[in-house]
Amino acid sequence: MTTAVATTTTPVTCPLCEATCGLLVSTADGGSIRVRGDRDDVFSAGYLCPKGAAIGELHADPDRLRRPMLKRDGVHVEVTWEEAYDEIARRLPPLIAERGSNAVALYFGNPTAHNLAGALYLRPLVKAIGTTNVYSAGTVDQIPKMFVTGHLYGDVATLPVPDLERTEHLLIIGANPLVSNGSMMTAPDMRGRIRSIAERGRVVVVDPRRTRTAEAATEHVSIRPGGDTWLLLAMVATLVEDGLVDLGHLDGIVDGVEEVERIAKDFPPESVVARTGIDAATIRRMAREFATADRAVVYGRMGTTTQPFGTLASWLIEVLNILTGNVDRPGGAMFPLAAAGQPNSRPGPRRPFRHGRWHSRVSQLPEVMGELPAVVLAEEIATPGEGQVRALITVGGNPVVSVPGSATLEDALAGLDLMISIDPYLNETTRHADVILPGPSPLERGHYDLLLYQYAVRNIARWSPPVFDTDVPPEWHAMLRIAAIVGGMPASTSVEPLDDALAAAVASLNGAEPATGLTGPERLLDILLKAGPYDLDFATVEAAPHGIDLGPLQPRLPGVLSTASGRIDLAPAAITDDLERLRAEPEPADRAELVLIGRRHLRSNNSWMHNVGSLNRGSNTCTLHVHPDDALRCGLSDGGAAVVASRSGRLEVAVEVTETIRPGVVSLPHGWGHDDVPGDVARARPGVNSNLIGDQRLVDAPTGTAVVNGIPVEVVPA
Ligand SMILES: Nc1nc2c(c(=O)[nH]1)N[C@H]1C(S)=C(S)[C@@H](COP(=O)(O)OP(=O)(O)OC[C@H]3O[C@@H](n4cnc5c(=O)[nH]c(N)nc54)[C@H](O)[C@@H]3O)O[C@H]1N2
Ligand SMILES: Nc1nc2c(c(=O)[nH]1)N[C@H]1C(S)=C(S)[C@@H](COP(=O)(O)OP(=O)(O)OC[C@H]3O[C@@H](n4cnc5c(=O)[nH]c(N)nc54)[C@H](O)[C@@H]3O)O[C@H]1N2
Ligand code: SF4
Ligand SMILES: [Mo]
């Protein structure tokens, strides 16, 4: 079991969401853990949220796995690490030998982006297996944003973030950062930041719900779900109409401006009123206020990416920023310059972004970033034929709860020949695994936010050490050991030589020397820091426990671009081709039909923190939000039960009548449905799995990203 190595206070970075807050974790003899915000943190300056405050409880959760589990006769039992790897060695290589590499699929989830093992050792595992069946939570999330930045700027990581410290006009579309704490925009204390922007300028929130963010904003514009693409086109049309297109310093490095102007002219504000539910005068005013603000930026998130036109909406967000000259200037959308691992800061030529290099076998959906859409995983497992998936490795993911069409996926998992999960919980997904390999708790491992600093609104670097010792091997051991087994090595192969070889390869790729005296993620991080744009290495970040402030974002154009032309490609065909689908979309009927969207809660984190007592209580409930008009029309009452049905499933849930939601729209959070898993706290308030009524066939066509916002549903009293 774990023993405290520190009886005092350790500054650590919270790895639970994208805000990367600095925490002070105090441990005392007897095992009590106290958590506060770290006021000296160069980025978060003392801010923390209830999840960060509960990290000690998470660490201590008795249901968190500390030993590998093997499924024997349908029941999970604790085994030794040797037994676990022997089982993998006995079953995985023969399966690959018989059915080929593509018979093995990988699914990795959100926590792998918050974990150095995931950031550094997952790719080598994927490569060792050599499968094209790679899936992640990204295709139920942000992929349209990355697809767009890949095509416009040349690299999926070349993603401009709102310069919150200097902007005077922040237009937020389909995001609720006061609750989510920000996404693809690493910025602790969103409440404080939004308050400052509202004091010096404007914050406008476009959302079908009056969210906490909308309440803190200077204006809330209620939109009909999925209307964003039309809204943004009409805003661009207004700029063109009023002569407000002004590229400023971007003039001369953007191709395709005329084409975009031509496209937008077909969408004057009057033509989109039914689509958006917003009147033409408001759309014109929004466009004019945005274009005439000194420093303005549009920011869009889940409500714009996980909807039927996620790529077009994400594209138009960039378009609006570019046409008003707000990309790459202070107070606009700027490109961070991370200290380590940022592909667009490496010198030398880079290959422009490509997608669709292969397609899924059954539905022919395209590859993006080496991944296939998560919505096709179930059919790839269940459909017989050459290339059928027969084994699955999940790493930090709970697709049964996170991916639309849960019932089908659950059936498919039950029929696999082999399933391995690197995961610290026995849950809705891992209960199907033959082998579960848990890793250390977030307080038992070192941490550096390699991925999230690529989206930070200020350039910073922060290493945090483990607070506790543990005898649970790090997750990167599991990734290297499975890779070795797939490579034909015995289950007992030691990880050190494998890690040395990886470090040598990473070093040679980055033109640096692997340090002696370091191993594992620390050594790889050292290489990436040395190869990075600042004069840093592992020792320097380790010596700064509250982080290193590398300053506000700086202009990076044109050097940051890696498009074939070396310029910004504003109207790539890969994106504009989807306008045809948009034009063919029928106008929404005057509807009795309801559409379902999601929502998040501050004291919740996707599907996996509901077993922490201080988080799973109070208003953090899995209820269906319904507008009073709809409640009346459908015969629903507050606190009563409703049956919600889509074309792919149905579920029963408690109703919460609220005026914060737009008429015609209902909202249900995802990540629930824990009736049948270990964990007394989670099971006591299980909620329902909203993805039971998620529809695998509803996707953003260019990327195959799931639509989780805007699912047609019928709601009747239960
Ligand atoms: N309907 C609907 N569906 C959605 C969404 C929505 O808004 N609505 N949101 C989507 C989004 S944005 C996302 S990101 C996905 C999330 O989808 P997933 O990533 O599949 O789900 P999570 O709930 O984040 O699952 C985390 C899993 O990782 C495990 N875990 C926790 N910590 C660690 C760790 O340190 N190491 C490892 N190896 N495992 C760990 C947990 O036990 C759990 O099994 O859900 C998506 N699904
Ligand atoms: N507390 C908490 N924090 C989290 C998470 C969590 O589960 N809980 N999850 C983390 C993850 S994985 C992610 S990806 C981020 C997500 O971060 P956000 O995107 O900020 O979070 P959401 O709450 O999904 O916000 C999406 C908003 O879009 C609105 N919306 C729905 N449909 C539409 C539409 O068609 N148009 C418009 N304009 N708006 C629409 C919803 O009402 C909602 O308010 O949050 C992260 N942080
Ligand atoms: S906002 Fe995110 S990073 Fe900060 S304490 Fe909360 S969960 Fe942790
Ligand atoms: Mo996410």
Neighbours of 656 (CB within 10 A): 20
Own/partner pairs for 123-129, CB < 8 Å, 24+ apart? 124/479, 124/480, 124/483, 124/502, 125/393, 125/395, 125/479, 125/480, 125/482, 125/483, 126/370, 127/483, 128/482, 128/483, 128/484, 128/486, 128/487, 129/96, 129/101, 129/104, 129/393, 129/483, 129/486
pLDDT at 619: 75
Q: Which ligand is nearest to the CA of 609?
A: 1
Predicted TM-score (pTM) of the model is: 0.97
Burial 180-192, CB ≥16 within 10 A → b, else e: bbbbbbbbbbbee
- Find, among 132, 696, 608, the residue nearest to 396 by Cα: 608
Cα 12 to Cα 37, 133, 188, 339, 423, distances in angstroms: 10, 35, 14, 18, 22
φ/ψ of 58, rounded to 5, equals -65, -45
Residue 366 C-alpha from the chain's centroid: 19
3-state secondary structure at position 499: helix
3-state secondary structure at position 151: helix
Q: Which is it for strands 468-469 and 3-4: parallel, antiparallel or unpaired?
A: antiparallel
Residue 505, C-beta contacts closer than 8 angstroms, at least 6 positions apart: none
Length of the chain as a residue count: 718
- Please confirm whether the linkage preceding 558 is cis (ω < 30° from 0): yes
CA distance 634 to 651: 16
Residue 100, C-beta contacts closer than 8 angstroms, at least 6 positions apart: 387
pLDDT at 1: 47
CA distance 579 to 702: 11
Residue 471 C-alpha from the chain's centroid: 30
- Find, among 411, 431, 406, the residue nearest to 421 by Cα: 431
pLDDT digits (tens, 9 = 90+) for 128-178: 999 999 999 999 999 999 999 999 999 999 999 999 999 999 999 999 999
Q: 302 CA distance to ligand 1 centroid (A)?
A: 14
pLDDT digits (tens, 9 = 90+) for 370-407: 999 999 999 999 999 999 999 999 999 999 999 999 99
CB burial of residue 515 (10 Å; 0-12, 13-18, 19+): middle
Q: Which ligand is nearest to the CA of 183?
A: 2
CA distance 138 to 161: 18
Q: 36 CA distance to ligand 3 centroid (A)?
A: 11
Q: 523 CA distance to ligand 4 centroid (A)?
A: 28
Q: Which domains does the chain have, with CATH numbers?
A: 7-59 (3.30.200.210), 160-340+560-581 (3.40.228.10), 589-717 (2.40.40.20)
**What are 108's strand-pairing partners?**
136, 395
pLDDT at 76: 97
pLDDT digits (tens, 9 = 90+) for 584-611: 999 887 666 899 999 999 999 999 999 9
- Find, among 166, 157, 191, 159, the residue nearest to 176 by Cα: 191
pLDDT tops 50 at residue 23: yes
- Ligand 1 atom closest to 15 (CA): 35
pLDDT at 5: 52
Pocket of ligand 3 from Cβ distances under 6 Å: 14, 16-17, 19-21, 48-49, 51-52, 181, 188
pLDDT at 448: 98
pLDDT-wise least confident of 80-84, 675-679, 710-714: 675-679
pLDDT at 348: 73
Q: Which ligand is nearest to the CA of 136?
A: 1
Per-residue confidence band for 679, with pLDDT thresholds at 50, 70 and 90: confident
Pocket of ligand 2 from Cβ distances under 6 Å: 17, 110, 141, 173-177, 179-181, 183, 206-209, 211, 223, 225-226, 228, 301-303, 307, 597-602, 604-606, 709-710
For residues 323-329, average pLDDT: 98
Pairwise pLDDT comparison (690 vs 618), residue with the higher score: 690
CA distance 635 to 576: 43
CA distance 143 to 149: 10
pLDDT digits (tens, 9 = 90+) for 274-290: 999 999 999 999 999 99
CA distance 554 to 328: 8
User: Could you tell me if the CB of 545 is within 6 A of ligand 1?
Assistant: no
- Find, among 23, 98, 41, 705, the residue nearest to 404 by Cα: 705
> The dihedral of CA 33, 34, 38, 44: what is its sign?
positive
Q: Which token pair is 578?
A: 């989807």
φ/ψ of 614, rounded to 5, equals -70, -15
For residues 675-694, average pLDDT: 92
Q: Which ligand is nearest to the CA of 612?
A: 1
State which of 194, 455, 616, 709 you would mutate to test the pocket of ligand 2, scoring each by most atoms of that ligand within 8 A of its C-beta: 709
State which of 176, 229, 624 you would mutate to test the pocket of ligand 2, scoring each by most atoms of that ligand within 8 A of its C-beta: 176
CA distance 142 to 184: 8
The DSSP element (H or E) to which 406 belongs, if any, is: helix 406-414
Q: 11 CA distance to ligand 4 centroid (A)?
A: 26
Q: Which residue has the tokens 């050459």?
A: 386
pLDDT tops 80 at residue 6: no
CA distance 463 to 465: 7
- Ligand 3 atom closest to 48 (CA): 5
Neighbours of 714 (CB within 10 A): 15
pLDDT at 20: 98
Q: 307 CA distance to ligand 2 centroid (A)?
A: 12
Whole-number percent of the chain with pLDDT over 90: 94
Whole-number percent of the chain with pLDDT over 70: 99
pLDDT digits (tens, 9 = 90+) for 438-469: 999 999 999 999 999 999 999 999 999 999 99
User: Could you tell me if the CB of 578 is within 6 A of ligand 1?
Assistant: no
pLDDT digits (tens, 9 = 90+) for 51-99: 999 999 999 999 999 999 999 999 999 999 999 999 999 999 999 999 9
**Residue whose CA is at the smallest distance from ligand 1 atom 28:** 396
pLDDT at 169: 98
